[in-house]
Structure 1
Amino acid sequence: MSKSNKDLNALGYKSKIPDFPDKHILEKVDNPKIGLDYLIRFTCPEFTSICPVTSQPDFAHIVIDYVPSQFIVESKSFKLYLLGYRNHGAFHEDCTISIAQDIVELLSPKWLRIGGYWYPRGGIPIDIFWQTSEQPKNLFIPIHNVDNYRGRG
């Protein structure tokens, strides 16, 4: 069961940045348009995490598209959840797929896809993609439209 707005822990309150990506921070609310298929997109162009080997920062542009079923993600809890990755040591693949899996576990959406466009370290950008199933038919789903890394100029 989702929480009513008055029962939410993040929305409307000053919040501490989490020390790690805790999926229990994520909150859901009732989908206001149950029975209608529509797309929700989260774009996170300044995602950060830490390399688990060197402890150097890693940066990514994360794009998440999902078609809700019963619930939608409460956005402030989602922002706090993502901030938990700032000091979390994990490889690009683990960060990208874990974010998607945590949302799927929370919401059981009709469909979800994620694109993790990681900025290069050592000269190689790494892009990670995953989706739960075949893309829904008869629904406008825009392309991610994230530019490939071109280096300087």
Structure 2
Amino acid sequence: MSKDDIYTGLTQLGQKTDIPDDPEKAILERVPNPQANVRYAVRFTAPEFTSLCPMTGQPDFAHLVIDYVPGAWLVESKSLKLYLTSFRNHGAFHEDCTVSIGTRLAALLEPEWLRIGGYWYPRGGIPIDVFYQTGPEPTDVWIPDQNVPTYRGRG
């Protein structure tokens, strides 16, 4: 598979693209996996993810870790960055943001396995961590721990 074949049809990579104002309007793109015959894990880390509280409009902050074992498709990283950034002005609870990202990626990529850990900073004094995965963790692919410590305040 040549590079030209992989990048055919992409609409955002290599050009100026505005940040979508809503996750539903964001275009997530995928490319064929040139190593589809090899089982391996991919990790994306977004340590500065933001969204808005749907009740107060105040900003919420999270450290997201997305792991997946690809099948035929890979997510195009610029489109993923723009998609995650589209949550910046989107009001939704932590659980909804985290699970929505996981399920949308799973539907787009049809991976062998996917998980997302949403490690949210405290709101009202309580941190909320949200986890989603598509099935049991593969035992024959190296999947490192997400290694995001639970919130400890000053402690």
Establish whether TM, by shorter chain, passes 0.5.
yes
Contact 1:23/1:102 (CA < 8 Å) preserved in 2? no
Q: For 2:54, give the aligned amino acid.
A: P
* Rounded Cα–Cα distance in structure 2 between residues aligned with 1:20 and 1:11: 19
* Rounded Cα–Cα distance in structure 2 between residues aligned with 1:23 and 1:41: 24
User: Which residue does 1:133 correspond to in 2?
Assistant: 135
Sequence identity (%): 62
Normalising to structure 1: TM-score of the pair?
0.94
**1:86 aligned residue (83, 88, 113):** 88
CA deviation vs aligned residue, 1:6-43 (integer Å, no higher than 9, x gap): 42111111111110113651000000111211000010
**2:79 aligned residue (77, 80, 104):** 77
* Runs of 4+ more than 6 Å apart: none
Normalising to structure 2: TM-score of the pair?
0.93
Indicate the SS of the match to 1:77. Answer: helix
Which 5+ residue runs of structure 2 have no aligned equivalent? Answer: none
Q: For 1:18, give the aligned amino acid.
A: P
Name the structure where strand makes up a greater proportion of residues.
Answer: 1
User: Which residue does 1:19 correspond to in 2?
Assistant: 21
Compute the RMSD of aligned alpha carbons: 1.3
Q: For 2:62, give the aligned amino acid.
A: A
Matched, 1:61 2:63: yes
